[in-house]
Amino acid sequence: MMNKIGFGRTDGRTDGFIRLYELNTSRLLLYIVREMLRRFARINSIPNYPVDYHEETKETKENETHPQNKTSSKYIHPHLEYQYLNLIHDIIAENHEHVSRNGTTFSVFGTGMLFSLEQGTIPILTTKKMAWKTCLKELLWFIQGQTDNRILNDADVHIWDDNASRDFMESRGLAHYAEGDLGPIYGYQWRHFNAEYKGHTADYTGKGVDQLAEIIRCLKHPTERFSRRLIMTAWNPCQIDEMALPPCHILCQFNVNNMNQLSCALYQRSGDVGLGVPFNIASYSFLTHLLAKHCGLVPHEFVYYLGNAHIYDDHIEPLREQLLRRPMVFPRVEISVLRDNINDYTINDFRVLNYQSCDGIKMKMRK
């Protein structure tokens, strides 16, 4: 039996479609299976691309002395960071180019990763140096329901500055907002979902739905912690046009198993793979560790689902460089104190231990 079937290219070339003429059924099935395995290989912890690491440095040799990270030129030890690196490779290889709102991107739609949080593990990427304190400060700002960018600036965090700029706010029809006011974004929806927004200086105590407080209440309850309804969403269609930027990471769900282990699953509609995704992995992993500590549970896993995963055209070359780097052992996080109120945790309550990484990679953030 002969088959004539067209498939979308997945091998990285850009000449439209590959047509399979006169393949017998068995060969066709092998082709399909191989392509399926390749597409889903990014959820595995080994690279699905040829690895040709740069010349080893003293840093990488020292890193290899760790028993969990033994590698050689002939053997690559599995590492969960390869899920992220595989995603970079696949986006570049599949070469689906789009002209988007804020520039040219290459993207895939639909991918997933899973990271262990056991024994204090925190998946802060190691193939580039991560500003994890900036990430954690932003998370604590979200938790407090804040919308004032000046609070972040006072903490030397500037990741929202472009989206808080006057020209960008005017482009969103929000020129009437006060300086630094970002509107009812992430943290506001977590703590005051759909409450009428009256500016970043208003008192919202008791207004809207406090989704995070309800999740904490359930996680502390001996039976309600097993609910399948432990969901927190930042996507509020009623207030999208009041936000400086519609949320990208839009919904997370928490789950407790019969060993009182806490996991978090995140769905993100849009992910800037070069800059945003590494922050999102770390941020929701920190959040899971924090909620486990606060509610007397044990951190287990962070499960990450992405809709549109994209790389901006000017990030391609820096990310190719990152693919040449070897992951190191993920660090551990310790939270030194148990606060009565989730709002009261500070950056000083967290210790990240044994974080080793390659050098930073500079990329421009898009508005």
Are the C-beta atoms of residues 163 and 180 closer than 8 Å to each other?
A: no
Put the strands of the sheet holding 249-256 in their side by side order. 97-100, 103-116, 298-312, 261-272, 249-256, 231-233
β-strands 249-256, 261-272: how paired?
antiparallel
Exposed/middle/buried for residue 203 (C-beta within 10 Å: 0-12, 13-18, 19+) = exposed
Distance CA 163, CA 247 (A): 12
β-strands 2-8, 261-272: how paired?
unpaired
Structure tokens given for 40: 């889903």
Catalytic entry in 248, 252, 295, 358: 248
Q: Catalytic: 248?
A: yes
Are the C-beta atoms of residues 216 and 235 closer than 8 Å to each other?
A: no
**Phi/psi zone of residue 296: left (φ > 0), alpha (ψ -120 to 50 degrees), beta?**
left
Using alpha carbons, list the distances in angstroms from residue 139 to 190, 224, 231, 236, 255.
Answer: 11, 25, 17, 19, 20
Question: How does DSSP classify residue 49?
Answer: S
Q: How many CB atoms lie within 10 A of CB 205?
A: 9
Catalytic residues: 248
